Amino acid sequence: MPIACYGDNMVTSIQISEELHHKLQVRKIVEHETFEEVIWDMLEDLQEVNAKTKRDIAEARAEIKAGKYKTLAEVKKEMGL
């Protein structure tokens, strides 16, 4: 894998499939956006989802601990199933 250094930035090339290339191309917001920018945006989105998911899980656990939940049987009974 060729690696080049430009100042403090390391540059590397990677091989990707045509399918992944197409998927990255479709995610570009503007035509001149680089694949690196696309990947950074995806990583940022993933981190935000993970942080939100962790908060949601903590909130759900607190609700369960406080008894704020219904069993499947209770929901079925309320819905007449």
DSSP string, 26-59: HH-SSTT--HHHHHHHHHHHHHHHHHHHHHHHHH
Give residue-wise pLDDT tens across range 2-59.
Answer: 444 455 677 888 899 999 999 999 999 999 999 999 999 999 888 888 888 989 999 9
Question: Residue 35 is part of which domain span?
Answer: 3-79
| pLDDT computed for residue 8 by the predictor | 63
Residue 14: count of CB within 10 angstroms of its CB: 7
Does 9 or 76 have the greater pLDDT score?
76
| pLDDT computed for residue 16 by the predictor | 92
Domain total in the chain = 1
Distance between CA atoms of residues 75 and 39, nearest Å:
42
